[in-house]
Amino acid sequence: MKTSPAKIRLAEDGANPWYEMVLIEGRNRQIRRMFERVGHHVEKIKRVQLGPLVLDVPPGKVRELTKREVEELRKAVSGEKKERKDNAETQRTLRKRREEKI
**What are the domain boundaries of the chain?**
1-46, 51-102
Q: Nearest Cα to 11, choosing from 87, 84, 89?
A: 87
Q: How far apart are CA 101 and CA 36, in angstroms?
A: 38
Question: What pTM was computed for the model?
Answer: 0.60
Low-confidence ranges of the chain (pLDDT < 50): none
Whole-number pLDDT of residue 86: 60
Whole-number pLDDT of residue 64: 94
Whole-number pLDDT of residue 39: 93
